[in-house]
Amino acid sequence: MIARRQWQSSAEVVLCSGFPTQLFLSSVVTLAGLSPLTDTGGLSLRFVAVVSAADTVLLGVLIGWFLHLRHESPRRVLLGDRPVSREMAVGLLLAPAVVVFMSGGIWWLRQVLPGLQTVPENPFELMAGSPLGAMVLLLVAVGAGGVREEVQRGFLLHRFREDLGGPVNGLVITSVVFGLGHVVQGWDAVLVTGALGAFWGTLYYTRGGILAALVSHALANGAQVGFAYLKGLEVLGS
């Protein structure tokens, strides 16, 4: 019985890791006629937005269904028992530190290990060059980045804690996978986002829910989009 439960949890973790669903949806969207690249060879914001939105919905349905199959409460697993307002306040207070770590970590790595900058410029920053592009990217960064990724992380860490070797295994594996999911932004981004994944995962385990991580993640992503837009304005004005 235990072995069967572990195999089931392993399958759920793989399905909800983000890779199978995004590969599937990317293929569907491509077959529907929407190219992942622009005419200049960059990532298509429309493609990214459609796939991200669809993946957010699909993962939400899968996670809800898997919790339902075991008669687990999504509120208890994902939100925990602490007051919502307090957890959101913690996330708000943590957001500036996360922004500093994001930007400062990338800058420091590029000074110490410049070879980790494997892309000349973050492809997502290029999408924020116009007000409309920045607005769409903001929705993607907050909805798919902040909300979906923390719901996803909370579910995966819950499964690791219950069935797959405990919290440490969960933190290590999910953080490595989370970092690798950002390889298109460069290996420096992989290391920084992997470290942030470990931080947000630790928040989930210590606070018993995803809200503090979700709020700090969403606000930090939003700030990054804002910085990218302002950077684009400076380039145009120079």
The pLDDT of residue 233 is 58
Domain count, the chain: 1
- Cα 237 from chain centroid? 32
79-113 per-position pLDDT tens digit: 999 999 999 999 999 999 999 999 999 999 999 99
pLDDT at residue 75 tops 90: yes
Nearest to 34 by CA among 45, 22, 47: 47
d(CA 127, CA 228): 9
Residues 6 or more apart whose CB falls under 8 angstroms from that of 166 comprise: 160
Q: What is the mean pLDDT of residues 120-131?
A: 79
Q: What proportion of the chain, given as a percentage, has pLDDT over 70?
A: 96
29-62 per-position pLDDT tens digit: 999 999 888 877 778 889 999 999 999 999 999 9
Residues 6 or more apart whose CB falls under 8 angstroms from that of 227 comprise: 103
Nearest to 78 by CA among 28, 180, 147: 147
Amino acid found at 13: V
Average pLDDT, the chain: 90
* Domain residue limits at 202: 2-237
Nearest to 204 by CA among 124, 231, 196: 196
d(CA 116, CA 216): 26
Sequence length of the chain is: 238
Amino acid found at 210: I
| Confidence band, pLDDT 50/70/90 cuts, at residue 216 | very high
DSSP string, 46-64: HHHHHHHHHHHHHHHHHHH
CA 215 → CA 37, 72, 86, 90, 133, distances in Å? Answer: 31, 24, 11, 8, 23
pLDDT at residue 236 tops 50: no
Q: What is the pTM of this model?
A: 0.90
